Homo-oligomer: A and B are copies of this chain.
């Protein structure tokens, strides 16, 4: 059998076994392997990977989370696959590898090595189903972009501007051309995981969408048993890739007639059973008012589609988990309202979401003579929002410690209208459509030596500004002269240009 000898920390250790020729190798074999360091044992699930060389092949993959020697032993009812033992050595992580992303500080994320992770994702639903050359173009674009997460479907997408046939069917074809949903097409899965690995090397998380409604291949019509077998197979193949996130669905509510809630819970459980790494897992809604119950323990973070971005702090409080708004509408010009907002508006919604203590997702949908729209097919970006989002990401990462806490959590009503957030002793304000010429609310309450910068979120400029006196009439007397206590409660004020879409950063020198 082939065997990995040395594997970098958080890389994929892959092992192969050959077995007997069986009528239904996908269904008739249960294979597990248990990896151990001393008494610590981790079980992974094996999967059938076809018989290219006439040799039926099973594989199992393991993501070592600790350096040193690992021993393993397989278990299977099939003699050739049972009780196979081996060992390998886990070395230091490859450059840039920080391990899988986990929830940190309730509302935020970090890699396994503690490096904070601030998701600034984009959307290319069907990029792995496009011609190879275009997939290479997509990877090149992503590598140069500021995005560190991609939402991508296992299944191809049938939708306007997405009429082309996918590279590979997801399941083996019968002689009549129909697909046998009990027999995954290993060629399709090998290709998909190769692309996931390329993203991993680029330091980009793969937000893998397991189901979606935009289908002409009858994948939506699979039985519950077929669904569960597919989810198990997908998890067995992918869970060793450190950059995988599980997105159970794109717009699950548009599938509720064929997949009711208990089935969705079961899909989450199947993933948990076969994913020893407990990758992040969530599910995405279509209608803003149809939310999955993200409080369920198998949902690691909240994924929403909702344009009311000023509600981000409210949603955060409601769910008590990290919040990623993956569809706050896309930059573009197509005749669908979810795909035609201006770049300025998308950048605006990003700032409001991020300073609301959440995270936002990008998408781009510009009409193209050959229907090459980034949001589904990838390729190259043509919009103006991506560089501004990269600029925002850099600002957040430069001062990132624990993640942003929205100032409205302090109870100041002003921050239901403008945006403000704090990370440790660094404060960000974003005024958006508001254009005050002087401001104080949310600025430090104790005076000191602060670096104060005016940030033009569109021009991407950062300009130092000085302290100014507190704005006029901080004390608002009313109701027969009683003090309402409506004071800025700040040690100093600032002067602003009176233009929209300005932000401010304040930090101790």
Binding site for B on A (CB under 8 A): 158-161, 163, 213-218, 220-221, 258, 307-308, 329, 333-338, 340-342, 344-345, 367, 414, 417-418, 431, 433-441, 471-473, 476-481, 488, 493, 498-500
Contact check, B345 vs A436: say whether CB atoms are below 8 A apart.
no
Contact check, B337 vs A434: say whether CB atoms are below 8 A apart.
yes
A118 and B448 CA atoms in complex are apart in Å by: 53
Contact of A345 among B163, B307, B329, B433 (CB under 8 A): B433
Apart from A160-B472, A216-B477, A335-B440: 18 A-B pairs, beta carbons within 8 A: A158-B477, A160-B473, A161-B473, A213-B479, A215-B479, A216-B481, A218-B481, A220-B479, A335-B439, A335-B441, A335-B471, A337-B414, A337-B417, A337-B418, A340-B431, A341-B434, A344-B433, A367-B438
Contact check, A159 vs B333: say whether CB atoms are below 8 A apart.
no
Contact of A333 among B218, B437, B441, B472 (CB under 8 A): B437
Contact of A218 among B158, B480, B493 (CB under 8 A): B480
Contact check, B221 vs A480: say whether CB atoms are below 8 A apart.
yes
Contact of A480 among B220, B308, B437, B472 (CB under 8 A): B220
State the Cβ distance, A161 to closest chain B Cβ, in Å: 7
Contact check, B433 vs A342: say whether CB atoms are below 8 A apart.
yes
Q: Can you name the residue of chain B whose Cβ is closest to the Cβ of A217?
A: B480
* Given A161-B473, A333-B498, A472-B161: A342 in contact with B480 (beta carbons within 8 A): no
Contact check, A338 vs B438: say whether CB atoms are below 8 A apart.
no
Contact check, A340 vs B435: say whether CB atoms are below 8 A apart.
yes
* Given A342-B500, A478-B214, A479-B215: A437 in contact with B367 (beta carbons within 8 A): yes
The prevalent SS among residues of A at the interface is loop
**Residues of chain B with a CB closer than 8 A to A163's CB:** 473
**Residues of chain B with a CB closer than 8 A to A434's CB:** 337, 340-342
State the Cβ distance, A121 to closest chain B Cβ, in Å: 21
A208 and B414 CA atoms in complex are apart in Å by: 28
Jot down 12 A-B pairs with beta carbons below 8 A, ordered by A: A161-B473, A215-B480, A216-B477, A216-B480, A218-B480, A221-B480, A333-B498, A335-B441, A337-B436, A340-B431, A342-B434, A342-B435
A488 and B434 CA atoms in complex are apart in Å by: 36
Name the residue among A218, A436, A438, A479 with the largest chain B CB count within 10 angstroms: A479
**Residues of chain B with a CB closer than 8 A to A498's CB:** 333
A142 and B434 CA atoms in complex are apart in Å by: 26
State the Cβ distance, A222 to closest chain B Cβ, in Å: 10
A440 and B438 CA atoms in complex are apart in Å by: 44
Q: Can you name the residue of chain B whose Cβ is closest to the Cβ of A472?
A: B160
**Residues of chain B with a CB closer than 8 A to A499's CB:** 342
Contact of A478 among B213, B333, B476 (CB under 8 A): B213
Q: Can you name the residue of chain B whose Cβ is closest to the Cβ of A417?
A: B337
Q: Can you name the residue of chain B whose Cβ is closest to the Cβ of A475?
A: B160
State the Cβ distance, A335 to closest chain B Cβ, in Å: 4
State the Cβ distance, A116 to closest chain B Cβ, in Å: 30
**Residues of chain B with a CB closer than 8 A to A438's CB:** 335, 367
State the Cβ distance, A212 to closest chain B Cβ, in Å: 9
**Residues of chain B with a CB closer than 8 A to A345's CB:** 433, 500
State the Cβ distance, A382 to closest chain B Cβ, in Å: 12
Q: Can you name the residue of chain B whose Cβ is closest to the Cβ of A335?
A: B471
Q: Can you name the residue of chain B whose Cβ is closest to the Cβ of A258?
A: B479
**Residues of chain B with a CB closer than 8 A to A341's CB:** 433-435, 500
**Residues of chain B with a CB closer than 8 A to A479's CB:** 213, 215, 220, 258
